[in-house]
Amino acid sequence: MNVAAVTASRATTQSLRTGGNKDRNVASLVFLCALWFSLFFGVAVLVVLIVDTAIAGAGRFDANLFTNYESTVRKGETGFRAGILGSLWLMMSTALLAIPLGIASAVYLEEFADSRAWYNKFVEVNLQNLAAVPSIIYGMLAAAIMTILGYTYQGIVLGGAIALALLILPVIIISTREALRAVPQEIRHGSLALGATVWQTTWRQVLPSAVPGIATGTILGLSRAIGEAAPLIMIGVATVRFDPAWLTDKVAALPVQIYNLASAPQEELQQAASAAIILLLLMILGMNALAILIRNKFQRNW
Amino acid sequence: MFRSKTLTATLSASALLLTLAACGGGSSADENAVSGSVAVDGSSTVYPMSNTAAELLSEEQPDIEVSVGFSGTGGGFEKFCAGDIDISDASRPIKDEEKTACETGGVEFTELHVATDALTVVTHPDLGVDCLTTDQVVQLFGPDSKITNWKDLDPSFPDQKVTGFIPGTDSGTYDYMAADVVGHESEALREDFESSEDDNVLVQGVSGTKGGVGFFGYSYFEENADNLKAVAIDDGSGCVEPSSETARDGSYTPLSRPLFIYVKNSAYADNEAVSTYVDFYVENLTDIAESAQFIPLNDEDLAETQSAVEAL
């Protein structure tokens, strides 16, 4: 997208937002109502779900929820310690795997690659496709990689991190490319004109300018990963009652534990699962808030 | 790899030893702290049993790291026969092709019967059907079933549309009903009933639909007994209600089913953590079954399981 297109799209957005057109006929009113209804419907369903879950789990927002392991002997005190710690471990190792790889791929595709070459077009099309692949497929892929690496028991931190990193790589690459593309060409041209190499331009001018976009995309990717259960179940993430201490330790995950307890027959366990759902939502909300903070702090206007 | 837990464990283990010494002996080898790792996977039905065993064991042996998965009976055997895990949970006996896979993988195993489950046929509480014969169960759930109204099953039943809710095809519960109760060669059930892998969805479906019928493990009925009615089953010798007693004494047939764990012999022999876990499991089988809301074995079956462990 070049600068002219950006300016044009901004102008369109502005005129739509102000609603400057005065010709309000019946059709446009009906359309407006339809839009309002769509918005209302989406938000209302979400609110009902959250409120319903929060009420169902209300009795279990206590310290035991964080400090205890899963318990069938004392159902009222069952906790998600293994899942919470496991999910944190998985998030950290997923970030370590996915962020450098994702940003490097995006920088190559955007700044160095010849966009007319057939192999780059091929990569491009496949990236878009990968972003739409069902998450369980990444679990199978990770299981295959773990087998090649020689791990027979795959429900370990490394296995989960590979599955989740593969899952969010396309998201990170696509959003990083968007962020890089939003950096005006003039910055690059100016830098190159002053004698900087492409490498120096990318490293010192383009990447720092693209940080808000990259950070936002990455954190949104990670907050998708933290809520995923399917690929983790696929590689065999199980219930444990110890804390992981290294990449090769067996690990539990919060969404998997929730899935498991929500289908248990005992009401106490279902109640704990509801409380954990709210906890997971808060974790995701926190990550998204962080993304917004980073974006606002580093945003530049050209 | 350092863990602060190790220190605590060592301290508590020494405390235990001191206490035992003070009591004048009685310490046996398995009361020493054992550390190591045990990998369990398989049936999600048996999962609460194995997980409860792990929980109770962790109070005595905090350094044994047990992981309990729930990837299904079939998925469990696949990993088990490839040698990836030590113990496989199963809600049905191992199939012949799975035995072959284990032989190919060089995995020798021992089957341990750990609990009993009473598959419970439930209806909406107001339906007014108290008892079904085994034939009627087959007619109702079988793949060729044309029953759409309760009256078609028996003229004395109410004139009410049948709405069925059954477990998903991936579950051992479905397999057991299809293969061991209905016994049709296709090993399938009728396809026009709603199905879900989540038994709580079945509970809600049956309790919310007049004319609703379904089946699942006894614990799901027990927890929802206020909103459901369990149907007694007549297998030729009168109507028998599903209950802990009737499942244990064998009178609730053909719907009571055995639950198993399969132990890899070499893991039991070489890994002290596995042998400690299995021994603990079998020693406390009745307590574990009750905590996990399963039906404990009767004395005869329990003795059989115990002698199987001793032979390991």
**pLDDT tens across A182-227, in order?**
999 999 999 999 999 999 999 999 999 999 899 989 998 999 999 9
Residue-level pLDDT at A23? 63
Query: Domain boundaries in chain A?
Result: 49-298
pLDDT higher than 80, residue A2: no
Residue-level pLDDT at B95? 87
A–B CB contacts, 8 A cutoff, strictly below: 88
CB atoms within 10 A of CB B97: 10
- Residues of A with Cβ-Cβ distance to B68 under 8 angstroms: 238-240
User: Mean of the per-residue pLDDT values for chain B?
Assistant: 86
Chain A nearest-CA distance from B2, in A, is 8
- Residues of B with Cβ-Cβ distance to A77 under 8 angstroms: none
Chain A nearest-CA distance from B40, in A, is 9
Residue B106 region by backbone torsions, left for phi larger than 0, else alpha for psi between -120 and 50, else beta: left
pLDDT digits (tens, 9 = 90+) for B3-36: 444 444 444 444 444 444 444 333 344 457 888 8
Give, as one character, the DSSP assignment of residue A250: B
Please give the Cα distance from B245 to B296 (Å, whole number). 10
Average pLDDT over residues A252-263: 92
What does the block give as tokens for A276? 């954990």
What does the block give as tokens for B145? 């079933």
Q: 3-state DSSP: chain B helix, strand, coil percent, rounded to 5?
A: 45, 20, 35
Q: Name residues of chain B where pLDDT drops below 50.
A: 1-30
pLDDT digits (tens, 9 = 90+) for B133-189: 999 999 999 998 888 999 988 889 999 999 999 998 877 788 889 988 888 777 889
- Residues of B with Cβ-Cβ distance to A70 under 8 angstroms: 51, 55
Residue-level pLDDT at B74? 86
C-beta of residue B94 within 8 angstroms of C-beta of residue B77: yes
CATH of A49-298, one of 1.10.3130.10, 3.30.420.40, 3.40.50.1100, 1.10.3720.10: 1.10.3720.10
Chain B nearest-CA distance from A38, in A, is 28
What does the block give as tokens for A164? 């989740």
Please give the Cα distance from A4 to B221 (Å, whole number). 66
Which of B222, B223, B291 is facing A72, going by the closest CB pair? B291
Give, as one character, the DSSP assignment of residue A252: -
Sheet holding B131-133, edge to edge: B131-133, B232-234, B239-240
CATH of B120-254, one of 3.40.190.10, 2.40.30.210, 2.40.30.170, 1.10.645.10: 3.40.190.10
Residue-level pLDDT at A21? 55
Nearest C-alpha neighbor of B5 from the set B35, B39, B37: B35
Please give the Cα distance from B113 to B31 (Å, whole number). 25
Backbone angles phi, psi at B167, to 5 degrees: -65, 160
What does the block give as tokens for A237? 């993430």
- CA of B69: which chain A residue's CA is closest? A238
Identify the band that residue A25 occupies on the pLDDT scale cut at 50, 70 and 90: confident
Residues for chain B: how many in total?
A: 312
Please give the Cα distance from A188 to A35 (Å, whole number). 41
Which of B58, B69, B199 is facing A155, going by the closest CB pair? B69
- Residues of A with Cβ-Cβ distance to B79 under 8 angstroms: 236
C-beta of residue A57 within 8 angstroms of C-beta of residue A277: yes
Q: Which residues pair with B261 in a beta bridge?
A: B89, B112
- Residues of B with Cβ-Cβ distance to A238 under 8 angstroms: 39-41, 67-70
- CA of B63: which chain A residue's CA is closest? A242
Instruction: Flag if A155 and B67 touch (Cβ within 8 Å).
Output: yes
Average pLDDT over residues A148-157: 89
Q: Which residues pair with A39 in a beta bridge?
A: none
CATH of B35-116+258-311, one of 3.40.190.10, 3.90.380.10, 1.20.1250.20, 3.40.50.880: 3.40.190.10
Please give the Cα distance from A159 to B179 (Å, whole number). 36
Write the CA distances from B144 to B17, B138, B182, B193, B212, integer angstroms. Answer: 64, 10, 11, 12, 19
Query: Domain boundaries in chain B?
Result: 35-116+258-311, 120-254
Do domains B35-116+258-311 and B120-254 share one topology? The answer is yes
Please give the Cα distance from B279 to B123 (Å, whole number). 40
- CA of A153: which chain B residue's CA is closest? B84
Q: What is the ipTM of this complex?
A: 0.79
